[in-house]
Structure 1
Amino acid sequence: MTRQSDFSDLLILGNGYSAHLAAIALDPVLPVRSMIAPPKRNVGAETLDGLVGQHAHSHIFLPRLEQELERIDQSLLPAMADHGCRFVPGSYRLSGDAPAGSRRMFATRWQFDEVVETLFRQRIQTRHVDATVSGAKTEADRITAISLTSGDPIPICPSTLVLDATGTKSPIMTTLADTESGVINQPGNVVYITQFFRGLDTRARPLPDPLIECPHDFGAIAMMLYPGAGGWFSISLAIDAAHKALLREMRDREAFMSFCRQSPHVAAWIEAAEPVGPNKIYINPRNTWNVSVFETGAAPANYLAVGDALTTMLPTLGANCSFAATHIRIIRDLLADRAPHLHHAFSTAVNAEQFAFFQKALVGKQAADGVTPYEASSQNRPIKRFKRRLRRLLGQDRARIIKQLSDSSSL
């Protein structure tokens, strides 16, 4: 691959999934000179009490991510599989030849991030600066220094491309977005409460299909069960933010567990596991679209952003990791092709590939009035239960399962 002529090296801000994947993808095109981020806190089973934000709302990974990882580097998927993260059919009732749209990766967010970080450390040798970015100094349309909360700024050469992977609270992107009328920043009006579980020995009996039988719409609450690797799984309740009393009630772990046990499918998972730590709250994540800062010339010429610094969506769609991988793949291709107008080409490509899907995430319905008990839901009418059982006994539910999974994909 040829190297981009306008830039001689790359500086990455951040140390999460987006930053590590960007380093892996872009280093063959533009060498990663250094990374600036605060010291990384270990996140996982031993530090579960400290989980916040997206890690606290664990989710599955959609087939668009599989597609993008393969396009970025064909060695990534086999390497991730060696560490226990692989894409498989999204239902226990589908065979290995299930179409791409029905595939999923089952892992907690911290498990997935740890695998990507492991591959990063194996492949990329770069200088890491333990510091927190507070902003950027610009001159003549370029970033000339990165400001730090801890002291003196770090000077930036005009030929260094700065890649912002610092997430939703990026100080640089926040400043740029505040000046742009085309930016979309909308509250999600949803609060997520999640309880993690460590599975016990379940070999004696199969558990219900997590993505087909366990999700349930209670009106003001939607329930999801997400498996992870190594026996881990989580149950998340997505609650309309307007229902304050309901939110307070579900923060109590016993009330949370009692509510979840309404579903016999979810109850079977709970009975085969033990809850770990308190339940975690993820308050009102936002839908943001900051791509317009690269359309209007507002961004410095040597600055790009990826992942949550560029776009975010409600995590129930499970697409934020896929979106980040697409941002990175687009930048990799533009740098390799020596795109003459990098910002214009980047924003055009992101808009073309992602904006239609982003629009589906925007809030468009009224909050539900209240909670409908599980037994009273329309999907539990006797005739519907009978038809589901009959289709399964006759082996006729494969097409319906594939459609259900494909309709919830980001492909």
Structure 2
Amino acid sequence: MRAMNEVEDFESFLDEGFNEFKFANDLLLGTNDHECEVLDVETSIKKLTFDLDEVEKRMKKLSSNHYEDLITNFQHIESTNSLMKSKITPNLERVNNSFSKVDQEIIQPYEESVKMNQALKKIHTTLDLLRGSNFFFMIMSQIEDLEKSGTNIIKLCRMYRQVNNLLQEANEELLSIQVIREFQPIHNVKYKNLVDTLTTVINNEINHSVKFDASNTNLKNHLIGYYILENSITSIIERTSISKKVQINSTQLSRSLQSPRNFNQLINELNTDCKEYLKKISTILKQCEIFERSSNLLDIFNKEGELSTVFWNSLVKNFEKTLVSTMARGGPVAKNLKIYRQGIIKSIEEVFEGQEKEMFLEAIKIIK
């Protein structure tokens, strides 16, 4: 019958050993010139779309051509079974003829329909695979354009993050495409290099006294880009800004111990300087809006630990270490600290408030 040839041209999809990943790779290789620098995915997708339409057309034709026979013969199946049981010997020839008709008009078309349905599923899987690869190559093309222009660091970081998610979130189907699988280690290196570049720019901008300002758009864009890639902002701020500021202020505090009679003036200046710094870094982070989370980098930082608390904790710990080593060495400096201990305590109580005051007073207990 005509139905026997309905799966013609789709034998590869009906093969029990059919592998959609290998088929997609072979299809891409067959529709591309090895010497061409641009990978053509559209041709493969068009071919699969054509096959998909053809399979659906043939399935509809099968259903239409055998609709009446299908309904009529199913109605006769029960009566045919009864007849076979009661009069199997005298009516064997007639039963065989009836069964042959059922086989030709019902069973065979049904089996062909099942095969066509399996081919349809495989075509769908392959088509989805090629569409996914097409999306991947589109993103890579946009990344290449952004890297050449160097104008939109935030969009570039979003693109890198998107590619990273595609490659790392257990996307085994996409990684079955050889050209994408081979690109993964290259992407990992480029991803790390981009993070390093962002870190360098942030470090330079923050530690440049003129550029460290809320109006520095370049700094804010690189901070947002870093957060998009690393999903964290605390470590970069502590590493490039807080630790260096703490080191500078710790040096000032160490010098104040050499002349405790001037301690009040020195910590007044230090307190003013630190508050100005915290205000400036807070303003910069607050202006770095993360629209995907309807938030900003200051709120995100504070969720992991309040900015001011992180700063003062680090500064007081350094101050306490200096006091410990100074008192352990003894000598004139330690002796002066003991003499001016009450004056130091009074200065701390006058200059600092709240948690900062309590932390400094706790550190001063080392002077006995």
The TM-score range, normalised by the shorter chain, is under 0.3
Higher relative contact order structure (alpha carbons within 8 Å, sequence separation ≥ 6): 1
Q: Which structure has the highest helix share of the two?
A: 2
Structure-1-length-normalised TM-score = 0.18
> In terms of Rg, which structure is larger?
2
Q: Which structure has the highest strand share of the two?
A: 1
